[in-house]
Homo-oligomer: A and B are copies of this chain.
Amino acid sequence: MTAAVDDELWSAVGDPTRRRLLDLLLRDGPGTATSLSREVPVTRQAVAKHLVVLDRVGLVHASASGREVRYGVDEAQLARAVAQLRSVGETWDRRLGRIARLAEELQRERDRDAGTDG
């Protein structure tokens, strides 16, 4: 697990600005670096760089339209990213659950010992 490809997707959605860009693109549909930069607290150039990163991992696709460059979300790839989030979350959940159950068992044993003892 946690292979190179996974890590790429993760670090792509790991950045807060990139997460917000994906949110905006999902909410409002395709947009340009300029239009997106009006809704995040960074410059157009910073947004453009993030879009390059997102494009590189396939989470968005560019399409020229006149002098503009519109970016849209690749739904299949985003679904894949979501699946990875879920996967990690579930792994941790399972381990947390196991720890919780183990703690309970130890507690029960301790109670039992205390009972036989007193």
Contact = CB atoms under 8 A, between A and B. Distances in A.
Interface of A: 2, 7, 10-11, 13-16, 19-20, 22-23, 26-27, 75, 78-79, 81-82, 85-86, 88-89, 91-93, 95-96, 99-100
Contacts of A91: 23
Copies in the complex: 2
A55 to B, nearest CB: 18
Given A75-B100, A79-B96, A86-B86, A2 B16 contact: yes
A49 B14 CA distance: 19
Contacts of A23: 2, 91
A92 B76 CA distance: 12
Nearest to A92: B82
Of A16, A20, A86, A91, most buried by chain B (CB within 10 Å of CB) is A16
Given A11-B14, A16-B10, A89 B95 contact: no
A2 B27 CA distance: 15
A14 B10 contact: yes
Contacts of A26: 92, 95-96, 99
